[in-house]
Amino acid sequence: MSKKLRPVLVGALGAASVAALVITSPAIAANEAPGAVSASVRAAGDLSVPAKKEIAMKLVSSAENSSLDWKAQYKYIEDIGDGRGYTAGIIGFCSGTGDMLELVEAYTNSVPNNPLAKFLPALRKVNGTDSHSGLGSAFVSAWKQAAATSAFQTAQNNERDRVYFNPAVNQGKSDGLSNLGQFAYYDAIVMHGPGDSSDSFGGIRKAAMKKAKTPAQGGDEATYLKAFFAARKVIMKQEEAHADTSRVDTEQLVFLNAGNFDLHTPLKWKVYGDSYTIN
């Protein structure tokens, strides 16, 4: 099955990581014993723990690639017809949105003599467009050749973490969110890109915070995440490529309604009508 549509917003990449917030002390309900933590305020998780991060990678891959085998996607590349040029790699780096350019630049800085280096001028010219000018089949072949090396795989991992995973997890921790909440942030920043515009991750978070407090602010996490999901779905439905909201409705909301804030296994969900399980 072909990769699902996942454009990153043009111009969103390269922005500074979301600033961290100070986590306030959890509020204690009046009817609870001293030292108890309200059930409505959960300790922040840590999605960066290897076992949890692996789950996060598989969850995103189910939506991005219709597969749990996210490591098989290093070599993936095609134009999915969404106006972002080529979409490629483990997180859907796009030739038209800047993140593919930044990836190849970082890769070339560490490995100057690589198959993709000669395409940097072309990548700079097509950035912000869906053009294949200067790229084409030769670029596709070079991408697959590079993807067979550990150096390019490491470069993809590093850019994924720098642009998407680390900012999402750090913001989630600052907001006092569990592993599920941190994953909700990560999945959103993958689709919508970082930044503060209304249709970026930062804008969606701001819209949610107008409706509900984060756990770090003394709010209930379930209530806040439902507000975040609702705000995200508004943005998703504004673009045809994002209009299918099943990665929220039949994945993240399923975990939330089950009270699975830790993302403990087994996990069962559906994305775009396909069923997945992590045991």
87 forms beta bridges with 78, 94
* Cβ partners under 8 Å of residue 271, min gap 6: 4, 62, 63, 66, 246, 247, 250, 251
Alpha helices in 79-147 (DSSP H): 99-110, 120-126, 136-147
What distances in angstroms separate CA 80 from CA 35, 136, 197, one per listed residue? 54, 14, 25
Written as six digits, the tokens of 82 are: 């969404």
Long-range CB contacts (< 8 A, 24+ apart) of 150-156?
Answer: 151/107, 151/110, 151/111, 151/114, 152/74, 152/107, 152/111, 152/114, 152/116, 153/74, 155/103, 155/106, 155/107, 155/110, 155/111, 156/74, 156/89, 156/90, 156/91, 156/93, 156/103
Instruction: Compute how many other C-beta atoms are within 10 angstroms of the C-beta atom of residue 182.
Output: 26
Distance between terminal CA atoms of the chain? 23
Positions annotated as catalytic residues are: 64, 82
Cα separation, 96 vs 196, in Å, equals 20
Prior bond to 266 cis, omega within 30?
A: yes
Q: At what angle do helices 150-159 and 99-110 cross, to 10 degrees?
A: 130
